[in-house]
Amino acid sequence: MINDILEFNKKFVADKGYEKYITTKYPDKKLAILTCMDTRLLELLPAALGLKNGDAKIIKNAGGVVSHPFGSVVRSLLVAILDLHVEDVMVIGHTDCGAQNMDAHKMLQKLKERNVSEEDIKLLHYCGLDFETWLAGFDCVENSVKNTLDILIHHPLIPKDVRIRGFIMDSVTGELTPVECD
């Protein structure tokens, strides 16, 4: 598959297919979106929000969550806010999320089945990584969005003038439903 992609890329560059995507690193709408890496959202999310290339910074991970208050998601948002002039942040969960009901114990078992040694797994515990939290999913998309909103809204490093709102997107229709932080 990767070789096919590389061949396509050579043709894309040679045919100057990139020209219609040229923009700057600064998001035109001063917007950052934290959402899920779900494949259904790849084109649906920007289309449903009326976004084009260059409009927003989009940060994706499994579930569209902040799993650690000082992890890569918050780091990326701080770069977007402080260096790239983002003023608004949207947290967008979605229906039928694959991270919903993810089980840490089953994930650990799958690692072992893929020949990751018990020794290597234990090393991560010594680094302070809690697998139970890190590999766990969530039961309710709305509560997951609320939890992420709470972390971001009350985060000591995120300036209080940044507007942060939460939503759940229907993964079929693209309809947004607002989620309010308690």
Average pLDDT over residues 105-125: 87
pLDDT tier for residue 56 given thresholds of 50, 70 and 90: very high
Residue 64 region, left (φ>0) first, then alpha (ψ -120 to 50), else beta? left
pLDDT, average across residues 64-71: 91
Q: Residue 19: what pLDDT? A: 95
Cα 92 to Cα 17, 34, 89, 99, 158, distances in angstroms: 30, 6, 10, 14, 18
The pTM is what? 0.92
* Chain Cα centroid distance, residue 120: 27
* Residue ranges covered by each domain of the chain: 28-102+137-179
CATH of 28-102+137-179, one of 3.10.20.90, 3.40.50.1010, 3.30.56.10, 3.40.1050.10: 3.40.1050.10
Distance CA 74, CA 68 (A): 8
132 in Cβ contact with 171 (< 8 Å): no
pLDDT at 131: 76
Average pLDDT over residues 97-104: 88
3-class DSSP string for the chain: CHHHHHHHHHHHHHCCHHHHHCCCCCCCCCEEEEEECCCCHHHHHHHHHCCCCCCEEEEEECCCCCCCCCCHHHHHHHHHHHCCCCCEEEEEEECCCCCECCCHHHHHHHHHHCCCCHHHHHHHHHCCCCHHHHCCCECCHHHHHHHHHHHHHCCCCCCCCCEEEEEEECCCCCCEEEECCC
pLDDT for the residue numbered 173:
98
Report which of residues 120 and 80 the model is more confident about: 80
Question: What is the mean pLDDT of the segment spanning 76-85?
Answer: 98
Q: Which residues are annotated as a binding site for Zn(2+)?
A: 36, 38, 94, 97
* Residue 115: per-residue pLDDT: 94
Instruction: Indicate whether 151 pLDDT > 90.
Output: yes
Can you say which residues are annotated as belonging to the binding site?
A: 36, 38, 94, 97
The pLDDT value recorded for residue 135 is 82
Where residue 119 falls among pLDDT bands split at 50, 70, 90? confident
